[in-house]
Amino acid sequence: MSRYICDFLVNLSPAHVRSPLKKLLADCGLEIVYDLEDYLMAREIPGRVSFARLVTVEVLIDVTRATQSAVNLSFVIKNEELPLNFNNHCRQVFDLLRLTIAHHDDWQPLDLQSNVPFAGSTTTAATFSATMN
């Protein structure tokens, strides 16, 4: 299973983050599957890649530590594809999501750090990390 994780602190209030977040996911070719107050799940539309390569994106909206002007978003991007090479389909969707966030007009990330992804069974504790399990 391929899995990539990233956290963003964005300068939007919790009340105004949902609409830009849904637009961001749609811009990446993902459709919303679950929509709760503090959680969104989106997936790739079937038909373009094999079933095992379909990517699911989970977004956790941390409303407990949010302020009036900032909220933390945790993204988990994953699929069932074995990460046999660095540039697998899940990694491509992960990179597309990061690039779309970095260039999105509706919000500006306040904290965006990255680490080099690694293959292994543990997750890094950095603000932004990528893992392949």
pLDDT at position 57, please? 97
How much of the chain exceeds pLDDT 70, in percent? Answer: 78
pLDDT (average), residues 59-81: 89
Q: What is the DSSP letter of 97?
A: H
pLDDT at position 128, please? 37
pTM greater than 0.75 (yes/no): yes
- 86 band by pLDDT with thresholds 50, 70 and 90: confident
pLDDT at position 5, please? 92
Range of weakest confidence among 19-28, 52-61, 116-125: 116-125
- 109 band by pLDDT with thresholds 50, 70 and 90: low
| Strand ranges (E), the chain | 2-10, 30-36, 39-44, 56-62, 71-79, 109-111, 118-119, 128-132
Listed in sequence order, the residues at least 6 apart from 88 whose beta carbon sits closer than 8 Å to its beta carbon are 2, 81
Q: Which two tokens stand for residue 48?
A: 């373009």
